[in-house]
Amino acid sequence: MTPSAWALAQAPHRDELLVEQAHLEKKAAAAAMQFLFRVPAPAAALRGLSALAREELAHFERTLRLLDRRGVPFGPQAPAPYAERLKQGCARTMPERLVDELLVAAVIEARSHERMQLLADARRADDVELADFYADLVGAEARHAPIYVELAAHVLPTDAVAARHTALLAHEAAVLRALPFAPRLHSGAPAEA
Ligand SMILES: [Fe+2]
Ligand SMILES: [Fe+2]
């Protein structure tokens, strides 16, 4: 669990976080699109994934609009190492690898949800526009994690999926512990004062 001190320490970095948010939404849409081609799930489940991809693109556009309104330029940015390190915990062979990649997507969605809620709460006192923005996005991110877990259950039995989910959450905890604090949504906790 992320300490609330993490969101307080992000206060001076809100522009950089917002630029990253646009990149993250774009990446989330691209990842969902890729899974559409790879996951052998029935049409109903793929429809949910397609809707998720569209929702991430809507978030991307919404974040770009907010950047524009706040006069913050959107441009290239070095990505945080979080997602790449999570993927290093994935199995190498199919179909286990596909399940792990879907579960990594679920882990990222869940962590994004937690952190955006913390940012919404922390900004409520000093930046209502930003607090409302994060609060609006949080609801969607809460719905996204279970969609990926359900898709994984179309690839392997649910008990195997649950075991891998637990293992990847432990891997994520180790990844976050090793990461320094940075102006990124998935950075490590700030050093204790
Ligand atoms: Fe999103
Ligand atoms: Fe999402």
Q: What is the pLDDT of residues 25-63, one digit of tens each?
A: 999 999 999 999 999 999 999 999 999 999 999 999 999
Closest CA to 80 of 24, 119, 28, 130: 24
Give pLDDT, residue 128.
Answer: 97
Closest CA to 107 of 24, 173, 17: 173
In angstroms, what CA-CA distances link 70 with 23, 57, 65, 67, 172?
17, 20, 9, 5, 33
What global pTM score does this model have? Answer: 0.96
Going from the Cα of 56 to the center of ligand 2, the distance in angstroms, rounded, reads: 6
Domain ranges for the chain: 13-70+83-178
Residues with CB under 5 A from ligand 2 (ion): 28, 109, 141, 144
Estimate to the nearest angstrom the gap between the alpha carbon of 179 and the chain centroid.
16
Angle at 126 between CA 122 and CA 129, to 5 degrees: 90
What CATH number was assigned to the domain covering residues 13-70+83-178? 1.20.1260.10
pLDDT digits (tens), the chain, 193 positions = 999 999 999 999 999 999 999 999 999 999 999 999 999 999 999 999 999 999 999 999 999 999 999 999 999 999 899 999 999 999 999 999 999 999 999 999 999 999 999 999 999 999 999 999 999 999 888 899 999 999 999 999 999 999 999 999 999 999 999 999 999 999 999 987 5
Give pLDDT, residue 192.
Answer: 76
Going from the Cα of 51 to the center of ligand 2, the distance in angstroms, rounded, reads: 11
Give pLDDT, residue 193.
Answer: 53
Going from the Cα of 166 to the center of ligand 1, the distance in angstroms, rounded, reads: 23
Going from the Cα of 153 to the center of ligand 1, the distance in angstroms, rounded, reads: 22
Give pLDDT, residue 32.
Answer: 98
